[in-house]
Structure 1
Amino acid sequence: MSKTVDAAREDFGTVSAGRANPALFQKVLVDYYGSPTPLAQLAGLQNPEARVLIVTPYDKAALKDIERAIVNMPNLSANVGNDGEIVRVTLPELTEDRRKEFVKIVRGKGEDAKVALRNIRRRSKDELDALKGEIGDDELSRAEKELEAITRTHVDAVDEALKRKEAELLEV
């Protein structure tokens, strides 16, 4: 469940809040000599200004591929250009409508994380039910209550991360 919460936080980080953040590009895969390669393995990411990110490829031959992968990112709508050495990504100022759209996206990601947590709880509950004849009813009841408490803690952690990201997105 902790891994699910961590994955949700990473997912929230991939949604732009109007500031250029290298975390936005964590999941970008570049077609590098025919194989999808994470951008972080192909280039250095620098953030010189609030809305500008500079991508410096380690291999200059990959410059066009990196630019293409960034341009094809969903939900980015950034100005992307290269000068033969680096790729410069400039994020536009977010409008109110775009901020609300990003909040919806983040809420969807949060709900997906909660569904994953509930699926883990259901599988664990099934495993506990399979042990019904082997352990006592008191042990089973205690384990179920503990499972519910753990699930509630992790769902609350996702909610807290979601609330922080929503506040960040709506901040002007």
Structure 2
Amino acid sequence: MNEEIDFILDGTKEAMDGAITHLEKQFVNIRAGKASPAMVGSVFVDYYGAQTPLGQVANVSTPDARTISIQPWEKSMLQPIEKAIIVANLGFNPMNNGEIVIINVPPLTEERRKELVKQAKAEAEDAKVSIRAARQEGNKDVKKLEDASEDLKKNAEVDIQELTDKYIKKIDELLAVKEKEIMTV
């Protein structure tokens, strides 16, 4: 019987871990003023007719805090990379010098920083919704157990609530770090 409850708890924990992982990925996409290769991670380039992630056709690096440097494996890819960055609508203006594509990352305005904080808060709230959904699913599975005593079910629900509280707290901590990162000039 305890095995079934452990299985439900593990499944709930796994779903909550997934929500945290997703949140961390979303936070990487929210830029905080510093240039990062992750800023162009969502760009897909037309590589001989196939949509290919930018990282698979070029070396993406950040020589300094305000510049992203993209060096294609093949020189013929300079124009398609530039075009893909513009099409991706990231708000960047790529330039190429015949060898590499250079993106100057403009400093964030106060207004833009506030928008990014709102975006981060929205992502954190989505993660909390996922955590609560996992809690609800776990509790539903516990209630379905037929041969478990009421005490076992209650204890399992308490464990699920403790997991929920722990993960919600972790989301709040991640959000606080991201918010500080965004607002730091």
TM-score (norm 2): 0.84
After superposition, the CA RMSD in angstroms is 1.7
**Which has a greater percent of helix?**
2
Structure 1 counterpart of 2:29: 14
- Counterpart secondary structure, 1:53: strand
CA distance in 2, matches of 1:138, 1:23: 48
Work out which of the residue numbers 103, 118, 122 in structure 1 matches 2:132.
118
Structure 1 counterpart of 2:39: 24
Bigger shift: residues 147-156 or 62-71: 62-71
The answer on 1:108 being equivalent to 2:128 is: no
Unaligned runs of 5+ in 1: none
- 1:48-127 alignment runs, 5 A limit: 48-74=63-89, 76-127=90-141
The answer on 1:164 being equivalent to 2:177 is: yes
Corresponding letter in the other structure for 2:83 = R
Greater Rg by CA: 2
| CA deviation map 1:78-101 (0-9, x unaligned) | 231122321111111111111111
CA distance in 2, matches of 1:169, 1:13: 11
Percent identity reads 38
**How far has the Cα of 1:47 moved from its partner?**
0.9
- Counterpart secondary structure, 2:148: coil
- On the 8 A contact 1:30/1:69 being kept in 2, the answer is yes
Structure 2 counterpart of 1:147: 160
Work out which of the residue numbers 125, 138, 147 in structure 1 matches 2:151.
138
**How far has the Cα of 1:168 moved from its partner?**
0.8
Cα distance change on mapping 1:9 and 1:169 into 2, 3 Å: same
- On the 8 A contact 1:106/1:166 being kept in 2, the answer is yes
Cα distance change on mapping 1:142 and 1:91 into 2, 3 Å: same
Corresponding letter in the other structure for 1:69 = A
- Counterpart secondary structure, 2:161: helix
**How far has the Cα of 1:41 moved from its partner?**
2.0
The answer on 1:36 being equivalent to 2:51 is: yes
